[in-house]
Amino acid sequence: MSDPAWVNSLLMRAVRREPVRRTPVWLMRQAGRYMPDYRELRRKTSFLDLCKNPELAAEVMLTTVERIGVDAAIIFSDLLLILEPMGMRLDFAAGGGPVLGNPIHNAAGVDRLLELETVEPLEFVMEVVRKTRAGLDPALPLIGFAGAPFTLAAYAIEGGSSRDYRLAKTLMYTDTGAWDALMGRLARAVTLYLNAQIDAGAQLVQLFDSWAGCLGPDDYRRYVLPHSRSVIEGLRPGVPAIHFATGNPALLPLLGEAFGKKKRPAVVGVDWRVRLDDAWRAIGYDRAIQGNLDPVVLLTDPPEIRRRVKEILRQAAGRPGHVFNLGHGVLPQTPPENVVALVEAVHELSGR
């Protein structure tokens, strides 16, 4: 029996650090508020309702992939959905970010957080995976994702976005027992959730630690690394994983360490605060790398976008294992034609 077409796709070959005819590219938040069709849909549907409607969520991503020509799809979902069946009240403020109505402030709050023993309450996410996979070009891989334990914990403690992560870090420093209990519970939930996405049809998964950059390396190693490692090591054997964090390039070697000793294709996602070549040297060439155009570059014009793409590709130096992406998600103000120009530039310049 022959392998599925996606097995030897550009993205899957790159994450295995195999030679490719051109650099694969996909974008975080590639289906989102910068797209007119998405904005029109959101005028009729709340964000949470959209995430929980598998038909619409799959359609949003499939339409985007076809329009911009990327080399992979990522499921349309949100990091924080996993917290609802664990007993947290999730909402999205109009025009704002997520709000958790019953934040965790102490050990008693940690005790109230439910263990996620089944993904049944998140079955709508698995249906998004199945419908997206079914509608996607068979030669393109599908990426599943989840928030990393630290980022989920920080949201759960802060109750929403934060500038200084004061409440989360205070609990982390002052009650390590409660902290480790919280992180362990979240790590087990995320492992269960990602494996369910893999079973539903995702070919690889990304662990988003969007807020980990607020930590220094010593704190990351003590309070975060063991839990992120437990998630990655608990994934289905052989399934590639992308580990992404922002804000502190000093953490990059530790993100690589989170893959542990089990053999699986390992990719470290890099933001724009560090040069790609410096980042890869710090991570080690035995890992693939993903990144790392500043999303604000997409607000300029195609010649500047092309120049920046060329520079990142030059830093990658043709070494097998580079997945082109932004250093964070596409900004809502981005002209859609600039996203297409980016993808076309990566395809053309890396294929020469």
Kindly tell me if the per-residue pLDDT of 350 is higher than 70: yes
- How far is CA 204 from each of CA 96, 103, 189, 297, rounded to the nearest angstrom? 30, 31, 18, 28
**Contact call for residues 173 and 235 (beta carbons, < 8 A):** no
In this structure, which amino acid lies at residue 177? G
Kindly tell me if the per-residue pLDDT of 270 is higher than 90: yes
d(CA 239, CA 205): 8
Q: Can you give the C-alpha Rg of the chain in angstroms?
A: 19
Share of the chain above pLDDT 90, in %: 95
User: Which 3 state secondary structure label does DSSP give 207?
Assistant: strand
- pLDDT for the residue 346: 98
Q: Which domain holds residue 87?
A: 5-350
Question: Which residues are catalytic, by number?
Answer: 29, 33, 42, 78, 155
pTM, whole model, 2 decimals? 0.97
d(CA 16, CA 14): 5
Q: Burial of 341 by CB count in 10 Å (0-12 exposed, 13-18 middle, 19+ buried)?
A: buried
Half-sphere exposure of 154 (CA within 13 A, CB side): 23
Kindly tell me if the per-residue pLDDT of 265 is higher than 80: yes
d(CA 169, CA 258): 21
- How far is CA 266 from each of CA 102, 124, 276, 281, rounded to the nearest angstrom? 36, 28, 16, 15
For 147-158, the pLDDT digits (tens) are: 999 999 999 999
Count of the separate structural domains present in the chain: 1
**Contact call for residues 206 and 269 (beta carbons, < 8 A):** yes
For 55-114, the pLDDT digits (tens) are: 999 999 999 999 999 999 999 999 999 999 999 999 987 767 899 999 999 999 999 999
Residue 259, both tokens = 């893959």
Mean pLDDT of 164-181: 97
Mean pLDDT of 16-21: 97
Mean pLDDT of 245-265: 93
**Contact call for residues 135 and 168 (beta carbons, < 8 A):** no
Residue 219, both tokens = 């704190």
- pLDDT for the residue 260: 87
Mean pLDDT of 318-335: 97
Where helices occur in the chain by DSSP H, the ranges are: 10-15, 36-42, 47-51, 54-68, 107-112, 123-135, 149-158, 166-174, 176-200, 217-223, 225-233, 252-257, 276-283, 302-316, 336-350
- pLDDT for the residue 3: 85
CB atoms within 10 A of CB 208: 21
Residue 251 is given by DSSP the state G
- pLDDT for the residue 107: 97
For 31-64, the pLDDT digits (tens) are: 999 999 999 999 999 999 999 999 999 999 999 9
Give the chain's mean pLDDT: 96
The domain that holds 71 is classified in CATH as 3.20.20.210
CB atoms within 10 A of CB 206: 22
- pLDDT for the residue 126: 98
Question: Residue 1: pLDDT band by 50, 70, 90 thresholds?
Answer: low
Task: Tell me: cis bond preceding 292? Omega within 30 of 0 counts.
Answer: yes
For 290-320, the pLDDT digits (tens) are: 999 999 999 999 999 999 999 999 999 999 9
**Contact call for residues 293 and 326 (beta carbons, < 8 A):** yes
- How far is CA 302 from each of CA 60, 167, 235, rounded to the nearest angstrom? 25, 42, 39
Question: Residue 202: pLDDT band by 50, 70, 90 thresholds?
Answer: very high
d(CA 251, CA 11): 24
